Structure 1
Amino acid sequence: MPCHGGSMRKLLIPLLAAVGLLAGAATAGAAPTSGVNDYSCTPSAQHPEPVVLVHGLGANGPLNFATLAPTLAGHGYCVFYLTYGTGILGPTVGGLKPMEDSAAELGAFVDRVRAATGAAKVDIVGHSEGSTVPAYYLKFLGGAAKVTHFVGFGANYAGTSLDGLATLATLLHLGPALAGVGCASCAEYLPGSEFLTRLDAGGVAVPGPTYTNIVSKYDTVVTPYTSGVFTAPNATNIVLQDHCSLDFTGHLGQAVDPNVASFVLNALDPSSPVRCQPFFDPGA
């Protein structure tokens, strides 16, 4: 079935908007967070691994982690973030390139952080695509030997239906078109893509790091939300509402959700208690 330019555009724009690309582009000029990317930071004995934060599709480090980065720094961590996978929308809109390439960027950044801090390993915390890219890095690019804890929230390892849009795009063979508008990672998120098939084959997790996956039942971007969980001996899956019943966050709101931050801190350091509080975010 042919899909002409106008009808294709009608499919692509909501698809990109649904994964946050257009929203990210509109707010991508966020200023760097104070206390982050301090390459003179010396990890403490209590928190010996620096934390590398990995943003979601269409975002950047400062934008995605304006809340979580200072929270982690305030708890005594050396905190770093990058903006990876930039393309036709400029240097502050990331996550657009093929996720294999972004994983290589992440690997180079991890090595830079390790060299600067003297740490043998880092912890990685990622949101949305910031879970998928590190998972690839850990499994295929040697990252498992360099990471102690990996935490993904709004996680996605199996693609998303985007309420049927991705399924429709698959039926109409729109994967190449998605890559053609400058978002190769969008095509890779289509269910059954070659990228996801390779990532999921034999299981996402590899021995070594601990994996913590945090998801929300109210996520309308990663659908079903169970795309962000998997079973492995070294994996813990957390559905927010199973623990914090008054948490009504969707996908984007997880970046500022205090309950997500509490679970992240606990995953990095089990002595940090999980505290729930009511949270409502009207976004996706």
Structure 2
Amino acid sequence: MPPRPRLLRTLCLTAAAVLSCVLLTGVSTAAHAADPVDAAKALAAPGVPGANDWSCRPSAAHPRPVVLVHGTFASGSVNWLTAAPALAARGYCVFALTYGEVPGVPVLRAVAPVASSAGQLATFVTGVLAATNAAQADLVGHSQGGMMPRYYLKFLGGAAKVHTLVGLAPSNHGTTLDGLATLAAQFPGALDLLNSGCPACVDQVVGSSLLTTLNAGGDTVPGVSYTVISSRYDEVVTPYATQFLSGSGVHNVLLQNLCPTDVSEHVAIAFDPVALHEVENALDPAHATPSNCLSHG
């Protein structure tokens, strides 16, 4: 027996209500939460000249966006004031994030566990690729920002999305507590945080479980090009040779082999013209030019 007209109307109205609820709540919320560009924009560092232009589209000359990854206690807003505009002036689409916030800790960033920060980097890179329609990105990182991306590459699927990783004074094989204390002394409040608990600091101590896991089975993953740029005057990640990587696709650079009078240390290397010239060479090796004391970014 066919259903009565009133029953049909009731069923239709109920179905429509359910569908409306799904469309207005579940679907729209899921779509918003899953929007990779919005998720990346939430992590973008403010006020970085030349960076985070979400309308930028990579050129044929520079087909991959460059993602800048800051170091411990710093932020994207302070770490890349020199590098970001220099790379943008060269025609790159440049993006910089700030990661590693710990609730209750003001100002200081990149202090959360390295694995957690690597997850934020993964979110940022995915959003950058979606915004720029690029297949891969290049990463340039300083200190922890040169080491942490290796966790993303090795364990979070980043190898398929990254072509080149450039590390400036990266903590690839760890440092000592004295080195971290030296770095902390340069940031107000960081020394207190180091003494009271800084997961990223613990992760970067020589022999930590994080570094043991990260470096087990080799320093690199297939398909990614690596460049490490170090200074013999580094007083934070010591000895400086522990920054270097081994494996295929690795290019290790010591600043003083290019310019013996270059005295840049751990923090200054992120602003050093010789180091930034080597960054540019690593990003575009087909057009690399020799670096020397006259090099500039």
Partner residue of 2:267? Answer: 252
Partner residue of 1:16? Answer: none
Query: Residue 74 of structure 2 aligns to a residue in which SS?
Result: coil
Q: Hey, what's the Cα distance between the residues in 1 that align with 2:172 and 2:244? A: 7
Partner residue of 2:291? Answer: 275
Tell me, yes or no, if the aligned pair for 2:175 and 2:236 is still in contact at 8 Å: yes
Q: Hey, what's the Cα distance between the residues in 2 that align with 1:225 and 1:261? A: 18
Number of paired residues? 239
Let me know the Cα RMSD of the aligned residues.
2.1
Tell me, yes or no, if the aligned pair for 2:49 and 2:81 is still in contact at 8 Å: no
Segments of structure 1 that go 5 or more residues without pairing to the other structure are: 1-29, 167-176, 280-284
How far has the Cα of 1:55 moved from its partner?
0.0
Higher share of residues assigned helix: 2
Aligned counterpart for 2:175 among listed residues 160, 172, 192:
160
1:59-70 → structure 2 map (5 Å cutoff): 59-70=74-85
Partner residue of 2:124? Answer: 109
Structure 1 consecutive aligned stretches of length 4 or more whose deviation exceeds 6 Å = 177-180
1:207-222 → structure 2 map (5 Å cutoff): 207-222=222-237
Partner residue of 1:89? Answer: 105
How far has the Cα of 1:181 moved from its partner?
2.7
Amino acid at match of 2:164: H
Q: Hey, what's the Cα distance between the residues in 1 that align with 2:179 and 2:78? A: 28
How far has the Cα of 1:244 moved from its partner?
1.6
Partner residue of 2:91? Answer: 76
Partner residue of 1:225? Answer: 240
Query: Residue 45 of structure 1 aligns to a residue in which SS?
Result: coil
Partner residue of 2:36? Answer: none
Segments of structure 2 that go 5 or more residues without pairing to the other structure are: 1-44, 182-191
Report which of the two structures shows the higher radius of gyration computed on alpha carbons. Answer: 2
User: 1:150-182 CA distances to partner (integer Å, 9 max, x unpaired)?
Assistant: 10011111111255788xxxxxxxxxx988834
**Residue 242 in 1 paired to residue 253 in 2?**
no
- Choose 95-104 or 234-243, whichever is displaced more: 234-243
Query: Residue 247 of structure 1 aligns to a residue in which SS?
Result: coil
Tell me, yes or no, if the aligned pair for 1:139 and 1:204 is still in contact at 8 Å: no
Using a 3 Å threshold, how does the CA distance of structure 1 residues 128 and 165 change in structure 2: closer, same or farther? closer
Using a 3 Å threshold, how does the CA distance of structure 1 residues 126 and 261 change in structure 2: closer, same or farther? same
Q: TM-score, normalised by structure 2?
A: 0.76
Q: Hey, what's the Cα distance between the residues in 1 that align with 2:49 and 2:254? A: 31
Query: Residue 131 of structure 1 aligns to a residue in which SS?
Result: helix
Query: Residue 152 of structure 1 aligns to a residue in which SS?
Result: strand
Tell me, yes or no, if the aligned pair for 1:162 and 1:222 is still in contact at 8 Å: no
How far has the Cα of 1:144 moved from its partner?
0.5
Q: Hey, what's the Cα distance between the residues in 1 that align with 2:259 and 2:280? A: 16
Partner residue of 2:144? Answer: 129
Using a 3 Å threshold, how does the CA distance of structure 1 residues 32 and 165 change in structure 2: closer, same or farther? closer
Partner residue of 1:6? Answer: none
